[in-house]
A and B are shown apart, each in its own frame.
Chain A
Amino acid sequence: MMDVIVIGAGPAGLAGAIASASFGLKVTVIDEFVKPGGRLIGQLHQEPTGEWWNGIKESERLLQEAKKLSVDIRCGVSVYNLEKDDDLWNVHTNIGTLTAPYVLVATGAAEYPIPLPGWTLPGVMSIGAAQVMTNVHRVEVGKKGIIIGANILAFAILNELQLAGIHVDRIVLPEKSPLSGKAGEPEEVMKSLLNAAHLAPSPLLRMGSRFMKNDSFRKIGMKFFPKNGVKVNGTPLLLRKAAIEIIGTEQVEGVRVADTDENGNIIPGSEKIYEADFVCIAGGLYPLAELAAVSGCPFQYIPELGGHVPIHSELMETPLEGLFVAGNITGIESGKIAMAQGTTAGYTIAKHAGKGGAAINKQLQEAVQNVRSVREQAAIQFNPEINSGRRKMSELWESLYSKNTRENSQIKIG
């Protein structure tokens, strides 16, 4: 029988598997994608030090380590339900039900779509889809594209598309609406890009950010943002243009765009069509937490973490006995942080399983400390308020569950 089932073979899941297997636990990792590595395998950017973060290499390294520890990794397996039966968790998958006393849910994140008219046409895809097609499958998403939405992920992937020789013609904002939220407000977008400035993961972002950081420019503000945009690595970023509709019959043919005022309101009569054979929608990320939800785990809405997240401790426990979480399911952050969280979760599971003796407490402390220091040095940060979000969660845990954490840290259910 297995001791631990890890759902998700991303950086969090793999690191968790490695950490718990290093204490002799029998670990199985399942993932519905065709290859292990999660979103890591699509990632490719230059760190501020000039070094390349090559996700394919990183996940290869994790895989080799996991294999050495006899971790069983199964790809192409989808989990659709998770429930507890006495002392065992039942993990229901398309190849049957697996059981184990400990489950680590590391399902990562999903992208917010911005459903503007025409978004269902073939050739329209999420920005992350373009990343996977380009870096993982090595297939061109098109010849000439438009990105709708300007956020840190969009810029990272713009660079990746350019590296692969794919032409991105321009970046525009989505039309301001309740569905696009802040993504449709030029000033909010500029503010978030400014916040990312010192964390720029690529020369292209540094370049764009330097421009926007410029004092005199900032004073003039959005009002005088050049109509033809500013060039980011050669691609115009148009913060004062909004996509109204994606047009085409059988597939994408272009985007209908209008000028906007400094608040993102459409200026009537300014519409224009830009041709494109592919369109990427960059709506941002949210924790993919459905499985934790069906398991009965309590949730909290913390916008700084990206939305609804399962309640968890810094040791990556949830209030449910035997259920642990790590990575983007606990809040949107970079791959390195997911990995550090996964390691913490793996040690915590080992401790719950009675492994590691007295020494494990020290190891756990170091792992928690490591998550914090990796966060401090993060080259890519999705939410500038992440620390405040993490603090909220740990206060919540302390107030609700810390009393039980002494003896038996988790609620018994089932």
Chain B
Amino acid sequence: MTRIINHPILGKLEDKKAVPFTFDGRTFEAFENETIAAALLANGIRKLRVHEDSGTPRGFYCNIGHCMECRVTVNDQANVRACLTVVEKDMVIESGKQHPNIVKRMVEQQ
């Protein structure tokens, strides 16, 4: 279990409604009113995308909307910040993908 259920000061985590969503085709459950970043981490997923150019893995960094590291595709809309977006029922989330670097390829071919 990766959720903090009992907290000595903040108290017990209330029972919340579970909401299904998919991430890269797999189905997971989030808690209602939870961000995508929190829901994925609660399901053991840290990698949210790969760098557009280099393909190296990325996760959330600041968790409050400042760094843009956590960008995912939500219901076909690209570059949505996972740390600021609440999961909704049956949301289709895709990790950020590597894009072909046209300029680099042109240089390589020269």
Chain B, range 47-78, C-beta contacts under 8 Å to A: 47-48, 51, 56-67, 69
Q: Which of A128, A135, A139, A163 contacts B2 (CB 8 A)?
A: A139
Contact, CB under 8 Å: A138 / B13: yes
Chain B residues with Cβ under 8 A from A134's Cβ? 4
A230 in contact (CB, < 8 A): no
A370 in contact (CB, < 8 A): no
**Interface-forming stretch among A81-89, A116-124, A376-384?**
A116-124
Chain B residues with Cβ under 8 A from A113's Cβ? 61, 67
Closest CB in chain B relative to A280 CB, distance in Å = 10
Contact A137:B61 (CB < 8 A) given known A33-B84, A122-B47, A122-B48: no
A397 to B14, CA, bound (A): 49
A291 in contact (CB, < 8 A): no
B46 in contact (CB, < 8 A): yes
Closest CB in chain B relative to A120 CB, distance in Å = 6
Q: Which of A120, A122, A132, A251 contacts B63 (CB 8 A)?
A: A132
Contact, CB under 8 Å: B35 / A122: no
B41 in contact (CB, < 8 A): yes
Interface bits B70-99 vs A (CB < 8 Å: 1, else 0):
000000000000011110000000000000
The SS class assigned to the B binding surface is loop
Chain A residues with Cβ under 8 A from B107's Cβ? none
The chain A residue with its CB closest to the CB of B56 is A120
Contact, CB under 8 Å: A78 / B61: no
A353 in contact (CB, < 8 A): no
A267 in contact (CB, < 8 A): no
Q: Which of B33, B47, B61 contacts A34 (CB 8 A)?
A: B33
Contact A138:B3 (CB < 8 A) given known A121-B59, A125-B60: yes
Closest CB in chain A relative to B29 CB, distance in Å = 13
Chain B residues with Cβ under 8 A from A32's Cβ? 65, 84
Contact, CB under 8 Å: A139 / B61: no
Contact, CB under 8 Å: A126 / B47: no
Chain B residues with Cβ under 8 A from A125's Cβ? 59-63
Contact A137:B10 (CB < 8 A) given known A125-B60, A128-B62, A129-B64: no
Q: Which of A33, A137, A165 contacts B65 (CB 8 A)?
A: A33
Chain A, range 98-130, C-beta contacts under 8 Å to B: 110-111, 113, 120-126, 128-130
A130 to B60, CA, bound (A): 10
Contact A78:B65 (CB < 8 A) given known A54-B10, A137-B38, A163-B8: yes
> A residues near B, CB below 8 A?
32-34, 39, 44, 52, 54, 56, 76, 78, 110-111, 113, 120-126, 128-130, 132-135, 137-141, 163-165, 249-251, 288
Sample 14 A-B pairs with CB under 8 A, ordered by A number: A33-B64, A33-B84, A34-B35, A34-B84, A39-B64, A76-B85, A125-B60, A126-B62, A129-B61, A129-B63, A130-B63, A135-B10, A138-B13, A139-B41
Starting from the known contacts A32-B65, A138-B5, 4 additional A-B residue pairs (CB-CB under 8 Å) come to A120-B69, A122-B47, A124-B61, A139-B3
